[in-house]
A = this chain, B = another copy of it.
Amino acid sequence: MKKLKIVTIGGGSSYTPELIDGFIKRYDELPVTDFYLLDIEEGKEKLEIVGKLAQRMVEEAGIPMNIHLTLDREAALKDADFVTTQLRVGFLDARINDEKIPLKYGVLGQETTGPGGFMKAQRTIPVLLDICKAMEKWCPNAWLINFTNPAGIVTEAITRHSAIKTIGICSGANSMMMDIAKAYDVKKADIYARIIGLNHLIFADKIYVKGDDLTDDFIEKLAVGSANNSLKNIPDIGFTARFARALHMYPISYLKYYFLTREMTETAIRDSEKKGTRGEQTREIEKKLFELYQDPNLNHKPKELEQRGGAWYSDTACSIISSIFNDKKEVHVVNTVNNGTTPDLPDHVTLETNAVIDKNGAHPLAYGRLPVKIRGLIQSVKAYEELTVEAAVTGDYATALLALSINPIVPSAAIAEQILDEYLEVNHAYLPQYKR
Q: List the interface of chain A (C-beta within 8 A of B).
A: 192, 206, 208, 210-213, 239-240, 242-243, 245-248, 259-263, 327, 329-331, 338-343, 346-347, 354, 356, 358-360, 363-369, 372-373, 375-377, 379-384, 386-387, 390, 397-399, 401-402, 405-406, 408, 411-415, 417
Among residues of B, the one whose C-beta sits closest to the C-beta of A325 is B211
Q: B331, A398: Cβ atoms under 8 Å?
A: no
Assess A414 versus B240: contact at CB under 8 Å? Given A347-B368, A376-B383.
yes
- In the assembled complex, which residues on chain B have CB atoms less than 8 Å from the CB atom of A356? 331, 356, 365
- In the assembled complex, which residues on chain B have CB atoms less than 8 Å from the CB atom of A206? 360
Q: How far is the CB of A387 from chain B (nearest CB, A)?
A: 6
Q: B399, A261: Cβ atoms under 8 Å?
A: no
Among residues of B, the one whose C-beta sits closest to the C-beta of A342 is B340
Select one of B338, B372, B406 contacting A377, CB under 8 A.
B406
Among residues of B, the one whose C-beta sits closest to the C-beta of A190 is B327
- In the assembled complex, which residues on chain B have CB atoms less than 8 Å from the CB atom of A365? 356, 363-366
Q: B387, A379: Cβ atoms under 8 Å?
A: no
- In the assembled complex, which residues on chain B have CB atoms less than 8 Å from the CB atom of A376? 379-384, 406
Q: A360, B213: Cβ atoms under 8 Å?
A: yes
Q: B369, A375: Cβ atoms under 8 Å?
A: no
Assess A366 versus B380: contact at CB under 8 Å? Given A412-B262, A412-B263.
no
Q: A239, B340: Cβ atoms under 8 Å?
A: no
**A343 and B208 alpha carbons, distance in the complex (Å):** 28
Q: B368, A398: Cβ atoms under 8 Å?
A: no
Q: B379, A375: Cβ atoms under 8 Å?
A: yes
Q: How far is the CB of A134 from chain B (nearest CB, A)?
A: 24
Selected A-B contacts with CB under 8 Å, 25 pairs: A206-B360, A211-B327, A211-B360, A239-B413, A240-B417, A242-B401, A243-B405, A243-B414, A243-B417, A246-B399, A246-B402, A248-B398, A260-B413, A262-B411, A262-B412, A340-B369, A347-B368, A356-B356, A363-B366, A366-B366, A373-B383, A376-B379, A377-B380, A377-B406, A379-B383
Among residues of B, the one whose C-beta sits closest to the C-beta of A387 is B372
**A347 and B262 alpha carbons, distance in the complex (Å):** 34
Q: A386, B398: Cβ atoms under 8 Å?
A: no
Select one of B330, B379, B402, B408 contacting A373, CB under 8 A.
B402
**A366 and B248 alpha carbons, distance in the complex (Å):** 25
**A246 and B406 alpha carbons, distance in the complex (Å):** 12
**A242 and B402 alpha carbons, distance in the complex (Å):** 10
Assess A341 versus B329: contact at CB under 8 Å? Given A245-B398, A246-B398, A356-B356.
no
**A192 and B380 alpha carbons, distance in the complex (Å):** 29
Q: How far is the CB of A98 from chain B (nearest CB, A)?
A: 20
Select one of B263, B354, B366, B384 contacting A364, CB under 8 A.
B366
Which 3 pairs show the lowest CB-CB distances between chains A and B?
A376-B383, A376-B380, A246-B398
Assess A262 versus B415: contact at CB under 8 Å? Given A356-B365, A376-B381, A384-B376.
yes
Select one of B192, B386, B411 contacting A261, CB under 8 A.
B411
Q: A341, B359: Cβ atoms under 8 Å?
A: no
- In the assembled complex, which residues on chain B have CB atoms less than 8 Å from the CB atom of A413? 239-240, 243, 259-260
Q: How far is the CB of A332 from chain B (nearest CB, A)?
A: 11
